[in-house]
Amino acid sequence: MHRSKIFIVLALILVLSLSVAGLSACKQAAATEEETTAQATSSETVAEETTAAETTAAETAASETIAAKDLTVGINLYFISPFTSSMVRGAEAAGKDYGIKIDVAASENADTMQQIGLFEGQISKGVKAIVVFCVDAQSWVVPINEAVDNGAIVLGSNSGVRDSKQSAFVGISGYTDGLLLGEEIKKLAELEGKTGKVVLGNCVPGLPVLENRVKGLLESLADKPEWEIVGPLDSGLTPDATYAFWENAYNANPDMIMAIGSCSLDLPALYKLKLKYPDAKFVTIGYDLEPDALKGIQEGSHAITLGQHPYLQGYLPVMAIAEHLVNGNPLAQGWIDSGKEVITKANVDEVMERETNPEVENTWYKDYIEKNFKPIWEKAVSWDKFID
């Protein structure tokens, strides 16, 4: 063979060898890349599985139950009154039903700072779940958040602390109960055809639930221009202050046709006022199930009171806590509506017996809770559905 042809053949062989070698190297590189990718994917999967396992473990740890005998639930109150005493009865009934201890603390003179100090004292002595009934919600955001961050459970009663880490709140919507009361007032026969002044009191101006209660009431009465609304005025937050307010209001407006209170202190004060001034002709209307409020309706001194089941506002939050910590069920989140009831001459005797006889009260509410609030964690709705 000619020498030049030999060189050409050798060159071709060399090129083919290099091509085969390159292809082999590419395949090896591809295989290595696939192996690396597979290893990375495997590592990510392991990491995700580990994270999921850790999360599950954390959730399991968070849902570990406590023996009922070892659980104490705190009840923390802004003040003691017939209203909050009913809340305490409800809480203690729930404690008895679940076999847990109840620790009650209340400020002496409706003092928010003192109440917060009592709350912190309950936490420091090992109370891990507390139900708070407060008035100044903004002052409670920090103490509630700190308690929750340190492992406590905090629920609200009667008034919620919307901007805090409070798990749930048991109470009613002020706006809707204001609307309801207004509609009931317009049905009263003793006000038919009457014109004149209506004095409206609010014991805590600025408190959202009461401001919205007044708002709903005024909206409902907007189609009664013959009723001149005086207020809302600050009616005071102690029995003495509230009585003094209503006596002054009556002396300043002796021709008023109606007195409407927004708080639990108003009807008891108005009951005493009418005993002092038996010739007073104004119609009295208000809220809650205080003994003197119910007695006033029985005797014809008052026309309407709108109840909001304070017993349930004590029982239900304790129930929610016990179901979670003792029975391992989900913790209620959001708003639980305790419901409302209109009390008039027609049904006052039944309500009076329930509210003044502990045996009747416990039996009635046990049946009511069974029919309306089980399972408790499913009765809570989003805060978005709550109108103060």
Segment among 2-11, 261-270, 363-372 with least mean pLDDT: 2-11
Domains of the chain: 68-172+310-339+357-385 (3.40.50.2300), 174-307 (3.40.50.2300)
Query: Quick one: how far is CA 151 from the chain centroid?
Result: 19
Residue of higher predicted confidence among 38 and 361? 361
pLDDT of residue 6: 32
pLDDT of residue 109: 84
Q: Is residue 299 pLDDT above 70, yes or no?
A: yes
Q: Is residue 44 pLDDT above 90, yes or no?
A: no
pLDDT of residue 63: 55
Amino acid (1-letter code) at residue 239:
P
CA-nearest of 273, 314, 315, 276 to 293 is: 273
Q: Is residue 342 pLDDT above 90, yes or no?
A: yes
> What is the arrangement of strands in the sheet containing 227-234, beginning at the earlier edge strand?
227-234, 196-202, 258-260, 283-287, 302-307, 341-343
Contact between 307 and 285 (Cβ < 8 Å):
no
- Which tokens belong to 322? 């016990």
Mean of the pLDDT values across residues 334-343? 96
Contact between 342 and 289 (Cβ < 8 Å):
no
pLDDT of residue 40: 39
- Which tokens belong to 136? 């100044």
Q: Is residue 383 pLDDT above 90, yes or no?
A: no
Q: Is residue 56 pLDDT above 90, yes or no?
A: no
- Which tokens belong to 166? 């409070």
Place of tokens 């399972």: 375
Distance separating alpha carbons of residues 93 and 106, to the nearest angstrom: 18
Contact between 215 and 232 (Cβ < 8 Å):
no
Q: Is residue 29 pLDDT above 80, yes or no?
A: no
pTM for the predicted model, two decimal places: 0.82
Strand pairing category for 129-133 and 153-157: parallel
pLDDT of residue 89: 97
pLDDT band at 154 (very low <50, low <70, confident <90, very high): very high
Q: Is residue 11 pLDDT above 50, yes or no?
A: no
pLDDT band at 387 (very low <50, low <70, confident <90, very high): confident
What count of Cα atoms within 13 Å lies in the side-chain half-sphere of residue 264? 18
Mean of the pLDDT values across residues 251-260? 96
Mean pLDDT of the chain: 86
